[in-house]
Each structure stands twice: as structure tokens, then as C-alpha cells.
A = this chain, B = another copy of it.
């Protein structure tokens, strides 16, 4: 199917009609993304930051990174002047920084509903659901492998929340669909059940290209060539190895002018040092190399500087999540990304809890707050994770999106002006009285405080009479009600048919593969 072109920065013609934005659940109607009104939390000074950068330079120059099974990537490096020894590539200090300087500091990822396009970079914050769990769980059915039905449900829950900004990618693994066909159903589901921006596959180069091709059907090929409409999240095989599967997918996104998110996955003590400064230097080196490779594939293509720090339990040897060391380490990663001038993905809402309990939110809130404090622009895992990265919980998903609502108010900061200073109220009320009905309160109360949809704020007696619920049970009721009330955003019938046709043609005759 041919697509209609649109000028750069212009809304794609095909989706112009689809502006009806679903807004529900909460006093705030939702915003397409957050423009933060508080500064980032910068914890290190110039000297310490420079030492970390110099260590990364030494890692890149003296140890290097292996680029396996991707001759084109090695060619890129050779032409750029890196030293190649087999698959090991080493870099002169400063070389990669110079290469990534062509990447934009900020870019728009377009949604099919233009009112929901997101700005990635600068002071902007985009919340996206968690990504990649093989399992799903809920209070009724417990834990089981995710299916395409779960996938659709979770896309619908995300679409229904006014506090998320992005539809995400592999919101759970639809394990009932063959691995080599899964991406087609996932991308189709994002387009069909959400009108927000989304992510495509990276598990093989042709799956990345399929994902981008479906975006071309939706937005038009010319528009896609000039604008970012899909993201691909690629992982480094830490320490210091880029696998060909990942670099080929990375290059597929870059070639199409779409943004890769470059993410080392470092469990301290296993894939990197147990000390934060070293793990940060390593991930900086690994990410920088990936970001540079996108620019060698296509100069000027958008890219996101990603990061994932984690820790380990000394008692069990298990990876741990939502712990203090990665949380505070994220602040430093943020500072380094800003010195490079690249949009940042960092941290998210992580927990090792197996239920949506106190542990889930102790760890989840600590790590999610670190993401917003460190200045992350694209927070991939904003909602749903339990059991490390292994399970998506329906209940925790809506608890987390509710918390994303709180973060909208938090990131609005403290506004200081004549209205908020309320001098008129003090003159009106005076000592020993109250502000409940004063003019200032009446003017401001509706927007003053965020109101959680899931927290219980009733007196104890009323809470007791109402069944002594905990937040997990309220969340269980909330997601069921939300799914029951879900309405799909309108999608152009011709586009829908073209997408279904593409998916059918790609699947046709393709033998099922389960890896």
C-alpha cells in the first residue's frame, strides 16, 4: 500500500483525523508528556565526572569492545578510524564523543494521534510501560506465561491511563505466538489498541525491518524517512560485547532514521564491577559505542543514551532491584548523558517482589524516583514489573500508573507567584481561623493536590466497614473495570486493512520458530 507523504515536522496526513483523545480516571486530563519544572539532582562535581569519563576512555582505548557477527559494523568502525583486531575494536579518546555530536539533543517521536506525539530529550519526561517479561500475573490467576491476549489487555490498560505517555514495546512476551511471528502481532496490537507512540522488535534484523515497515504503512514512507515514529531498544551484551543480532537491529533503526535506545544491562559483580563508579564508566563506554554506531549508519539519526544498573544479594547471589546503589548511581549517569548532549533513558520502576505488596512499592518507588531525579527523558519501565524483570503484574501495572500520576504533580515543582504565595488569604483569614472557604482556596483547590485513584484516604472506621481492602485488591478491581470500559481509539479502516494484510503476507508460509 502506498502512503501519503507529509513534510518534516508536519503531522502525517493519514492520522490527522484521529484526534479524539481518551481521557479518564483522575482530575487531570493528562498531558502528552511531562515538561519538568524542577532541576535534575546532580550529585557529583566536575572532577569526579571527568574521572569517570577518563576511565571510560581508557576502557575503550586499552580494553576495547567486541563487535561480533556484524561485518558491516566493523567496516563502519574501520572507516571511522578505530583500531580493529579481529572483532575487538579500540578507540582513541574523544573519537566517539565527536561521532555522537551529530545526534539530536531532542527529537519528536510521532504518535498516530498527533496530540500524543512525545518530545524526547531536554526537560521532557515520557513514561512508558515495562518491557520484556515472559510471565504475567494477577490476583485471580497467579503467575503464568504471557499470551497475546495479555499483551492486548496491557496495551489497553496503558492506553486507558492518563499518566502514561507511550505504548511501550514488548509489554509482555506473547509466548503463545511463535517467536518469529510475535513482532507482527505486537506491533499491530500497539497500533490497533493505542494511539500513542510505540516500539518495535529488535530480536532479529528482519523483525526490526518488519516493525519499521508497519510504521511506514501507518505514517507513510516519506514521513517515516524524515521523522521518528518507532523506537527499538537494543541491549549490549555486557561486559564490552555487542552481538551482531543487536547491532544489525540497531543499524536497521538508524538506517530508517528511527531511534535506537542503547542499553547495557549490568548486574554489579557479574557483568560489571561491584562498585558503582566502575559500573557507570563501563556502561558509559558501552552505550557511547552503540550511540556512535547509529551515527555511522546514518548521521543525524536520533538515538537515546540508555542505562541499566543493578545490584546483587550477597545472601542468595540473586540480582536485586530497586536497591539504593543503582538508585543513587542513576544520578551520575544522568549527569554524564547531559554532558554528552544525548536524550537519556535510565532506571524505571523495578522490584524483586513476587506480589504487589510493600516490597514492590518500596523498591519500585525508590527506583522510579531515581529515574525522574536523574533527568531520564524516556522511562521505559514505568509500570508493571514484579519479580525482577520476569513478570508483569496487572495489579502493579495500575498501582504504578497511579504513581506516575503523582509524579506529574511532583515534577511540576513549587510554583512561586502572587497566587501561590497567597498573601490575600493570610490577610483574609488571620490567626486561629481556617482556610477552608476563603477566596484563595476556592480559586485553587481543584488543581492544588493530586488525587490517587487507588490510595485509601478514608477514616479507619469507614475503611473497615468497606471491607478492609489493601491496595492490591483495589488495584485488582480497578484494572478489571478499566478493561471493561476500554474503547479503542479510532483507526482508519484502510490502514487497518493494510496492516492486517502485511501481517498475513509476512506470516504466510513462514514456518513457526520458537527461538
Interface residues of A (CB under 8 A from B): 27, 38-39, 41-44, 48, 51-52, 55, 58-59, 62-66, 88, 135, 143, 237, 239-241, 268-278, 280-282, 311-316, 318-320, 323-325, 327-329, 331-332, 352-366, 369, 373, 387, 390-391, 396, 399, 403, 406-407, 409-410, 412-417, 419-423, 425-427, 429-436, 440-441, 444-446, 448-452, 454-460, 463-464, 468, 470-472, 475
Contact = CB atoms under 8 A, between A and B. Distances in A.
A416 B323 contact: no
A412 B277 CA distance: 13
Nearest to A62: B427
Contacts of A143: 460
Contacts of A356: 358
Nearest to A351: B455
Contacts of A241: 431-432
Given A359-B470, A406-B366, A458-B318, A434 B276 contact: no
B324 A450 contact: yes
A406 B324 contact: yes
A192 to B, nearest CB: 31
A207 to B, nearest CB: 25
Which one of A270, A419, A449 has the highest number of Cβ atoms from chain B below 10 Å of its Cβ?
A449
Contact of A445 (B269, B355, B403): B269
A474 to B, nearest CB: 8
A27 to B, nearest CB: 7
Contacts of A475: 358
Contacts of A415: 275-277
Contacts of A65: 431
Given A275-B420, A358-B470, 12 more contacts: A27-B314, A41-B373, A43-B414, A51-B416, A58-B426, A59-B423, A270-B434, A275-B421, A282-B426, A311-B449, A314-B445, A329-B414
Contact of A423 (B58, B387, B410, B455): B58
A55 B425 CA distance: 12
A471 B357 contact: yes
13 contacts: A62-B426, A241-B431, A274-B435, A274-B445, A274-B449, A311-B449, A353-B455, A358-B396, A358-B399, A358-B471, A359-B456, A362-B455, A366-B369
A58 B425 CA distance: 12
Contacts of A315: 451, 457
Contacts of A327: 410
B448 A280 contact: no
Given A275-B420, A277-B414, A325-B409, A456 B358 contact: no
Nearest to A322: B455
